């Protein structure tokens, strides 16, 4: 029997218990042994919970119990999750987590501790919720040189943007819905300001490169400035607006960023709506491949955590190879990367726009202003030209 302790009995943690109970037989067969929850760690009271006998408040009881083989860390945050995970790994207990904040901050250190102690630190649920993406990168795409990873990596913001696009709904109202559905982070800024997607693209970029991409160095812009008016222009252009997280190999090095982009109907990520996430990978032998599914929510995320528990159970005493060295990657400057931009400016700026950007088609959807699309240029060049546009309303990057 493989004994598991769940740290944090919230949305994901309670989902892990539910998945293990509901699919007990399938999971046992696939793991090669029965998987049993021995403890659930949480500080709250759960008087009516069917698993109340397993709930404990003292982490020492679990860390000092030699019968516990695997910890499932679904508490979130950096501390005490980091200390608890480190101590568990140091005592040879494998750790499976959905905590992308911790993985992005300390992933390579925890992987090294796991290796030194012949156990595993697995984090499938940390990116894309229930979508298998860490395992494909770590196992299936090992023959590839990966040139670019572009993802819709945050369920909350994709849910918000989809509702704004399709129903013309207001930002605050849809954010509340996403929170009620258990998709959102405790601090909504983590989702809407792009910080969560930033952690996730840092993890994917690190696995793509094999070295550490520091999330602090990734240019990050959220969706708080996107309005219903922007979607009117997007519709006119046959496009939608998505929060994309991207990492790309260029001749200047790797460029990584998170920002809202207009994407075309023909783009594989266009039809990824609601809480769904997808990761579009361009690699040199396979070509394009895409990984799609529910990016947040209790059971999809818990399913990914439990798949890691099964992997740990299959590898007791052995460490699964994961190439993510502690050495930091020096990212190329985003300002040097090139793309087209959609721009909105006040009525009366037509001549200035022509002087700066050449002859453009002017799009008219809203009174008192117009929109246009630039040619491809570097971010630096666009910023320089945009400074000369005194009544610039907004600009949105365009994904090729
Ligand atoms: P929740 O807030 O629902 O659950 C976390 C639980 O852990 C809460 O019950 C919390 O208790 C408990 N907890 C926090 N600190 C401690 C502690 N020191 N000791 C014991 N228990 C503690 O969060 P989620 O389940 O939504 O998220 C968990 C992690 O999974 C986060 O890292 C999140 O980013 C990630 N994630 C979430 C997804 C989702 O769809 N919700 C999807 C993918 C990843 P209390 O409430 O009292 O603080
Ligand atoms: N808040 C996150 C999201 C949870 O909305 O995608 C999944 O990581």
Q: Which residue has the tokens 């990596």?
A: 153
> pTM for the full model?
0.98
Query: What is the Cβ-side half-sphere exposure of residue 30, based on CA atoms within 13 angstroms?
Result: 13
pLDDT for the residue numbered 380 = 98
φ and ψ at residue 37, rounded to 5 degrees: -80, 120
Q: Which residue has the tokens 């559905």?
A: 181
Q: Which residue has the tokens 């299959």?
A: 314
| Active-site entry in 38, 54, 93, 200 | 200
Pocket test for ligand 1, best of 11, 156, 159, 183 (most atoms within 8 A of CB): 11
Spatial separation of the C-alpha atoms in residues 254 and 356, rounded to whole Å: 29
Split at pLDDT 50, 70, 90, the class of 172 is confident
End-to-end, the C-alpha distance of the chain in Å comes to 51
The two tokens of residue 244 are 């994309």
Helix (H, G, I), strand (E, B) or coil at 42: coil
Nearest ligand 1 atom, CA 57: 20
Find, among 63, 101, 72, the residue nearest to 9 by Cα. 72
Based on the residue annotation, tell me whether 200 is a catalytic residue of this protein. yes
Spatial separation of the C-alpha atoms in residues 103 and 100, rounded to whole Å: 5
Find, among 104, 103, 67, the residue nearest to 85 by Cα. 103
Say yes or no to pLDDT of 186 above 90. Answer: no
Per-residue pLDDT reduced to its tens digit, 13-42: 999 999 999 999 999 999 999 999 999 999
- Residues, the chain: 400
How many C-beta atoms surround the C-beta of residue 170 within 10 A? 12
β partners of residue 68: 3
Give residues (CB < 6 A) around ligand 2.
129, 154-156, 183-185, 191, 196, 295-296
Nearest CA to ligand 1 atom 44: 98
Pocket test for ligand 2, best of 184, 258, 273 (most atoms within 8 A of CB): 184
β partners of residue 245: 151, 258
Average of per-residue pLDDT across 59-81: 98
Say yes or no to pLDDT of 169 above 90. Answer: no
Determine contact, residues 279/115, Cβ cutoff 8 Å.
no
Split at pLDDT 50, 70, 90, the class of 171 is confident
Say yes or no to pLDDT of 168 above 90. Answer: no
Percent of the chain at pLDDT exceeding 90: 96
Determine contact, residues 248/353, Cβ cutoff 8 Å.
no
Element (H, E) at 28: helix 24-31
Determine contact, residues 304/298, Cβ cutoff 8 Å.
no
Element (H, E) at 6: strand 2-7
Chain centroid to Cα 157, Å, comes to 11
Q: Dump the DSSP string for 147-214.
A: EEEEEE--HHHHHHHHHHHHH---HHHHHHHHHHTT-S-SSHHHHHTSHHHHHHHHHHHHHHHSSBPP
The two tokens of residue 117 are 């102690």
pLDDT for the residue numbered 306 = 98
Spatial separation of the C-alpha atoms in residues 170 and 163, rounded to whole Å: 8
Q: How far is CA 248 from CA 42, 242, 259, 281, 337, in A?
A: 40, 18, 14, 10, 10
Instruction: Name all domains of the chain by residue range, CATH numbers in brackets.
Output: 2-129+298-314 (3.40.50.720), 136-294 (3.30.360.10), 335-398 (3.30.70.120)
């Amino acid at each position: 029997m493989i004994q598991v302790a769940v740290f944090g009995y919230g949305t994901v943690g309670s989902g892990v218990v539910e998945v293990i109970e509901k699919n007990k037989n399938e999971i046992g067969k696939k793991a090669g042994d029965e998987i049993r929850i021995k403890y659930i760690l949480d500080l709250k009271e759960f008087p009516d919970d069917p698993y109340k006998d397993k709930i404990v408040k003292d982490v020492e009881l679990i860390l000092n119990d030699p019968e516990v083989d695997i910890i499932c860390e679904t508490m979130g945050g950096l501390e005490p999750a980091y200390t608890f995970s480190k101590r568990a790994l140091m005592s040879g207990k494998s750790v499976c987590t959905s905590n992308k904040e911790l993985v992005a901050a300390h992933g390579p250190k925890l992987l090294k501790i796991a290796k030194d102690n012949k156990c595993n630190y697995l984090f499938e649920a940390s990116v894309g919720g229930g979508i298998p993406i860490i395992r494909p990168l770590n196992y299936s795409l090992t023959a590839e040189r990966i040139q670019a990873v572009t993802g819709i990596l945050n369920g909350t913001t994709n849910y918000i943007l989809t509702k704004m696009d399709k129903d013309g709904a207001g930002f605050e109202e849809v954010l509340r819905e996403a929170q009620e559905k258990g998709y959102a982070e405790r601090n909504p800024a983590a989702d809407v300001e792009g910080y969560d997607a930033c952690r996730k693209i840092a993890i994917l970029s690190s696995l793509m490169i094999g070295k550490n991409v520091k999330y602090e160095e990734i240019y990050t812009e959220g969706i708080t400035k996107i309005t219903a008016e922007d979607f009117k222009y997007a519709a006119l252009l046959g496009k939608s607006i998505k929060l994309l997280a991207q990492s790309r190999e260029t001749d200047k090095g790797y460029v990584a960023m998170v920002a809202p982009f207009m994407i075309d109907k023909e783009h594989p990520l266009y039809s990824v709506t609601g809480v769904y996430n997808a990761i579009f990978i361009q690699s040199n032998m396979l070509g394009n491949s895409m990984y799609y599914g529910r990016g947040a929510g209790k059971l999809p995320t818990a399913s990914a955590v439990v798949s890691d528990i099964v992997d740990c159970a299959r590898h007791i005493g052995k460490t699964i190879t994961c190439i993510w060295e502690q050495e930091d990657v020096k990212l190329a400057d985003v300002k040097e990367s090139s793309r087209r931009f959609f721009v909105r400016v006040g009525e009366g700026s037509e001549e200035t726009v022509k002087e700066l950007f050449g002859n453009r088609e002017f799009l008219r959807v809203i009174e008192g202003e117009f929109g246009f699309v630039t040619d491809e240029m570097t971010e630096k060049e666009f910023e320089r030209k945009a400074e000369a546009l005194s009544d610039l309303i907004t600009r949105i990057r365009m994904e090729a």
